Structure 1
Amino acid sequence: MAVEAVIWDFGGVFTSSPFEAFNRYEADNGLPRDLIRRINATDPDTNAWALFERNEIDTAGFDELFLKESTALGHPVPGREVLPLLSGSLRPRMVAALKACKQHFKVGCITNNMVTHHSPGADAPQRAAGAMGLVMPLFDHIIESSKAGVRKPDPAIYLMMCEALSVKPDACVYLDDLGVNCKPAAALGMRAIKVVDVDQTLAELAAATGLQFDQEALA
Structure 2
Amino acid sequence: MIRGIIFDCFGVLYTGSLTLMASMAPDDRRQEIYDINLQKDYGYISYDEYLAKTAEVLGLQSGDIEKILREKHVRNKELVAYIKELRAKGEYKLGMLSNIGERTMQELFGEELHELFDTVVLSYQEGLAKPNPVIFTLMAERIGLRPEECVMIDDLADNCEGAEVAG
Shared fold (TM-score, shorter chain, > 0.5): yes
Q: Secondary structure at the match of 2:137?
A: helix
Q: Provide the TM-score with structure 1 as the length reference.
A: 0.60
- Letter of the aligned partner of 2:80 in structure 1? V
How far apart, CA to CA, are the structure 1 residues paired with 2:141 and 2:30? 29
Shift of 1:58: 2.5
Shift of 1:84: 3.8
How far apart, CA to CA, are the structure 1 residues paired with 2:31 and 2:150? 27
Shift of 1:16: 2.7
- Letter of the aligned partner of 1:49 in structure 2? N
Q: Which structure shows the bigger proportion of residues in helix conformation? A: 2
How far apart, CA to CA, are the structure 2 residues paired with 1:188 and 1:40? 31
Gaps of 5+ in 1: 24-32, 121-126, 190-219
1:106 to 90, 93, 96: 93
Instruction: Give the match for residue 157 of structure 1.
Output: 135
| Number of residue pairs the alignment of both structures matches | 161
Q: Does 1:118 align with 2:90?
A: no
Deviations 1:117-168 (CA, angstroms, capped at 9, x unpaired): 3134xxxxxx4xx545434432110011222222212211111111112212
Matches within 5 A, 1:1-219: 2-18=1-17, 22=20, 34-35=23-24, 47-66=35-54, 70=57, 76=59, 81-87=64-70, 88-102=73-87, 103-115=90-102, 117-120=103-106, 127=107, 130-189=108-167
Q: Provide the TM-score with structure 2 as the length reference.
A: 0.76
- Letter of the aligned partner of 1:154 in structure 2? N
Instruction: Give the match for residue 205 of structure 1.
Output: none
Q: Looking at CA atoms only, which structure, 1 or 2, has the larger radius of gyration?
A: 1
Instruction: Give the match for residue 204 of structure 1.
Output: none
How far apart, CA to CA, are the structure 2 residues paired with 1:78 and 1:182? 34
Q: Is the 8 A contact 2:51 2:66 kept in 1?
A: no
Larger RCO: 1 or 2 (CA < 8 Å, sep 6+) = 2
Q: Is the 8 A contact 1:153 1:184 kept in 2?
A: yes
Cα RMSD for the two superposed structures = 3.0
